[in-house]
Structure 1
Amino acid sequence: MKISTKDLTLCGLFAAITCVLAQISIQLPFSPVPFTLQVMAVYLAGVILGGKRGFISQLVYVALGAIGVPVFANFTGGASIILGPTGGFVIAFPFMALIAGYSTNKYKSKIYIVIAMIIALLFCYIFGAVWLSVIGKMSFTSALKVAVLPFILFDAVKIVIVAIIGLNVRTRIVVGGLS
């Protein structure tokens, strides 16, 4: 796989955007998972960069956090976050960007891209909830109640925002010759 300087720059930029949006965080008292805008950054990476570059950008983000750079929510980082209760959600980010980005590369219809983002979110929810149930020693149903159900409405809004903004930005990047 050949990666150009432009690709590296765009991947780094979207890893940085994810770092910034992760810090817009509200810790909910009933959930180990904070409300952040990370998921929106993941979708933006996939929709704007496409599958491969979106995946790489989020892989860079996860790797930075795993080695201890405080890029995760509330300026945290390190393997303890990846191996902790919320690690499954974070590990799912590159795959979410891949799913959303693949759809954007293949289809130009907003409805297909929205469906792809919903599928990506379901992957994240299931993977993250399974991870939480194992690490947190709770039932899968309990994990869904504390780490998925409170976020569904907010994540649906993020999908709508990215469907509007992300596709417009992608179109302008393509027209501008940056893609």
Structure 2
Amino acid sequence: MSEKTKKLTTCALMAALMAVCSQIAIPLPGRVPLTLSLVGVYLTGIFLEPGWALASQCVYLALGLCGLPVYAGFSSGAGVLFGLTGGYLFIFPVMAWVTSVSCRRFRGIIPLALGLLLSLLLCYGAGSLWYMALGKVGLRETLVSCVLPFVPLDICKAVFALVLAQRMKKPLALGKF
């Protein structure tokens, strides 16, 4: 199998992983469900080169836009992607790219953890700005609804992704899955 075919296949598999992670969702009182999507974004960035990581997340977004139920709660379509919480989805490709760059440019667990933290801050920033613009709500309401309840769990997701990636690194390098 050619190197390009391997990269394309891995890109598609990571988009599929995103679809699975997004379905592991717990509805919360606000408009933002609790999902494992961020774990999928982080793993995409860790295992794919920057361009492929970005492409994989774009494929995931395109699948949902085309009507495949890959977003949280088996949802799909333009209404979800361009809805109140769409900013959190639109930033996924950039998050995966940032994660990928951080783990390739700087070696070690600390730089990778900082890259995941930067990605998470990008998610909160872009998603919150989008939410405020479309929902015509202020920063305080946005933080209370869309950010603060998620911070502890999102940090746990980053730690989980780091641990999982460390465990998967060796088997994947050996060609085992």
TM range (shorter): over 0.9
Q: Determine the structure 1 residue equivalent to 2:108.
A: 109
Cα separation, partners in 2 of 1:124 and 1:176, compared to 1, 3 Å: same
Aligned residues: 175
Please state whether the residue corresponding to 2:117 is helix, strand or coil.
helix
Q: Determine the structure 1 residue equivalent to 2:14.
A: 14
Once the two structures are TM-superposed, the CA of residue 165 in structure 1 deviates from its matched residue by 1.4
Q: Determine the structure 2 residue equivalent to 1:170.
A: 169
**In structure 1, what is the Cα distance between the partners aligned to 2:82 and 2:99?**
25
Deviation sequence 1:33-86 (CA, Å, 0-9, x none): 100000111001101123222111111001111121110001000011111011
Once the two structures are TM-superposed, the CA of residue 164 in structure 1 deviates from its matched residue by 1.5
Give the gaps of 5 or more residues in structure 2: none
Cα separation, partners in 2 of 1:105 and 1:175, compared to 1, 3 Å: farther
Q: Residue 84 in 1 paired to residue 86 in 2?
A: no
Q: Determine the structure 2 residue equivalent to 1:97.
A: 96
Once the two structures are TM-superposed, the CA of residue 108 in structure 1 deviates from its matched residue by 2.2
- Runs of 4+ off more than 3 Å: 174-178
Q: Determine the structure 2 residue equivalent to 1:46.
A: 45
Please state whether the residue corresponding to 1:150 is helix, strand or coil.
coil
Q: Which amino acid aligns with 2:143?
A: L
Q: Determine the structure 2 residue equivalent to 1:64.
A: 63
Please state whether the residue corresponding to 1:28 is helix, strand or coil.
coil
Deviation sequence 1:103-162 (CA, Å, 0-9, x none): 111122001000000000000101000000111110122111100111000110011111
Q: Residue 135 in 1 paired to residue 116 in 2?
A: no
Q: Determine the structure 1 residue equivalent to 2:146.
A: 147
**In structure 2, what is the Cα distance between the partners aligned to 1:172 and 1:52?**
23
Q: TM-score, normalised by structure 2?
A: 0.93
Identity level (%): 37
Q: TM-score, normalised by structure 1?
A: 0.92
**In structure 1, what is the Cα distance between the partners aligned to 2:36 and 2:116?**
15
